[in-house]
Amino acid sequence: MKAVKIVIGACLAMYAGVFIPAAQAQERQQDAQPEIAQQAPAQQAPARNLKLDGRALPLGGSLAAPHLWQQYKQRFVSPTGRVIDTANGLISHSEGQGYGMLLAVAANDRVAFERIWAWTRANLMVRDDQLVAWRWEPGQRPAVSDMNNATDGDILIAWALAEAAELWADVAHRASGRRIAVEIGRKLALFKTPHGALLLPGVSGFSTGDRADGPILNLSYYVFPAFARLGTVAPEIDWAGLSQSGLDHVKRARFGEAGLPTDWISLRDGQPKPADGFAPQFSYNAIRIPLYMAWAGLGDWEHYSAFHAWALGKRSLATVDVKTGRDVDRLQESGYASIGALLACAIDRTPAGPEFRTLRDAQHYYPATLHLIALAAANLRYQSCVKG
């Protein structure tokens, strides 16, 4: 399997749940200029003392919005349990299945959880280990043509199983979650490196042996709230160490005047820089980083300041070319604004408006998913912001 070519080619952005057509992706990659100076934002906001609560909290029942979950299921979850990415040719992927399972736990919907997990098990757990194939394409035979995994999908699924095991006292789910979590720790988490603990984005295509600029990181694959809970099924893995290392990388990987990380980062020679062959953009992957930190209740102002400025300091949201500082893609679907609402809640203690509790019809799978997980995170950890 030529994993590097697969990841860098037409399927590049699917690791973020958003697919960029091959021609468009190639055009952006040709324009990529990864030699970008790492620098702090030109005008940093004054440091603030954040009062976050990083306790590990169970997810079960935290969505507290059954009507929104019903809307989501109707639009994105098939009767067989396949979570459908409506923006990408109706494909499915491990990320989507993991998010669907987590939302089912957050909605306390065991029937939906079992259906999504059964489809995942039957269609994506086709590797020769305990990890999950990342992409399933309808109308193709075989439907899984790339056997590589996507680490964030594996983490989301293992975390969902751990939460389900606790919520519904299900030992089978605990065992399944443990198998995946242990495999993540064995194959994807590198604890003894010159760069600290690292999380590879996949088994193939990202290590020093696979790429001249390796190892490659994707900081949105550090699912911080999952690390706080995976110890319930795999306590022998140093999840706390992996989480702290991820937070350290978030502080270090800041590029351009905005001080934002790119989606794909090279750690060759120990100095973070945009990875070769990838557009130097803060894009659909990296926008999840502040969401995960706030969901976990982790980090200080230095972690959040650039994200806070991006999400709340501009008239409209957009992905950013860190080299030029220019906006690339406008994020017009309403679900993307939920990231800013969660940050305003966590950092500024600003109550969320009624739109935070409304799922608009005219948006695709990815922004709708970000919206619901941001709402679950706010309900779980920042309840005073979402009352009313």
Domain of 70: which CATH number? 1.50.10.10
> What's the whole-model pTM score?
0.91
Question: From the CA atom positions of the chain, what is the Rg in Å?
Answer: 19
Distance CA 346, CA 377 (A): 10
Residue 254 resides in a domain: yes
Distance CA 366, CA 55 (A): 27
Residue 184 resides in a domain: yes
Residue 369 resides in a domain: no
Condensed to tens digits (0 to 9), the pLDDT of residues 225-252 reads 999 999 999 999 999 999 999 999 999 9
Work out the average pLDDT over 180-208: 96
Residue 46 resides in a domain: no
Condensed to tens digits (0 to 9), the pLDDT of residues 136-170 reads 999 999 999 999 999 999 999 999 999 999 999 99
pLDDT of res. 16: 41
- Statement: residue 110 has pLDDT above 80: yes
- Statement: residue 112 has pLDDT above 70: yes
pLDDT band at 28 (very low <50, low <70, confident <90, very high): very low
Check 85, 95, 146, 213 and give the catalytic one: 95
* Nearest alpha carbon to residue 117 among 166, 65, 70, 81: 81
pLDDT of res. 25: 35
Distance CA 229, CA 242 (A): 13
What single string gives the DSSP state of each residue in 220-277?
GG--HHHHHHHTTT-TTS-HHHHHHHHHHHHHH--BTTTTBPPSSEE-GGG--EEPTT
Angle between helices 66-76 and 365-381 (to 10 degrees): 160
φ and ψ at 17, to 5 degrees? Answer: 85, 5
152 is catalytic: yes
Which of the two residues, 62 and 18, has the higher pLDDT score? 62
Tokens of 75: 């639009």
Cis peptide before 215 (omega within 30 of 0): yes
Q: Is 20 exposed, middle or buried (0-12, 13-18, 19+ CB in 10 A)?
A: buried
Q: Domain total for the chain?
A: 1
Angle between helices 239-252 and 301-312 (to 10 degrees): 60
pLDDT of res. 26: 31
Check 109, 137, 146, 152 and give the catalytic one: 152
Q: Are 328 and 73 in contact (CB under 8 A)?
A: no
H/E segment holding residue 196: none
Lowest mean pLDDT among 32-41, 149-158, 250-259: 32-41
Residue with tokens 């306590």: 235
Tokens of 32: 């990529």
pLDDT of res. 76: 98
Distance CA 180, CA 51 (A): 33
- Statement: residue 3 has pLDDT above 70: no
pLDDT of res. 362: 87
Q: Are 158 and 226 in contact (CB under 8 A)?
A: yes
Amino acid identity, residue 61? G
Residue 252 resides in a domain: yes
154 is catalytic: no
User: What is the bridge-based pairing of β-strands 318-321 and 216-217?
Assistant: unpaired
Q: How many residues does the chain have?
A: 388
- Statement: residue 9 has pLDDT above 50: no
Q: What share of the chain is helix, strand, coil (3-state, %, to 5)?
A: 45, 10, 45
Distance CA 84, CA 66 (A): 20
Q: What is the DSSP letter of 346?
A: I
Distance CA 193, CA 175 (A): 30
Angle between helices 110-123 and 94-106 (to 10 degrees): 160
- Statement: residue 132 has pLDDT above 50: yes
Residue 17 resides in a domain: yes
H/E segment holding residue 26: helix 22-31
Share of the chain above pLDDT 70, in %: 88
Distance CA 352, CA 385 (A): 6
Tokens of 285: 């992957």
Residue 270 resides in a domain: yes
- Statement: residue 47 has pLDDT above 80: no
Which of the two residues, 47 and 3, has the higher pLDDT score? 47
pLDDT of res. 237: 98
Distance CA 56, CA 349 (A): 20
Greatest CA separation found in the chain? 55
| Average pLDDT across the chain, whole number | 90
User: How many whole angstroms from its chain centre is CA 147?
Assistant: 20
Domain of 86? Answer: 3-22+57-296
Q: Are 64 and 377 in contact (CB under 8 A)?
A: no
Residue 51 resides in a domain: no
- Statement: residue 18 has pLDDT above 60: no
Work out the average pLDDT over 361-387: 95
pLDDT band at 44 (very low <50, low <70, confident <90, very high): low
Angle between helices 288-296 and 301-312 (to 10 degrees): 130
- Statement: residue 31 has pLDDT above 80: no
Lowest mean pLDDT among 42-51, 189-198, 263-272, 376-385: 42-51
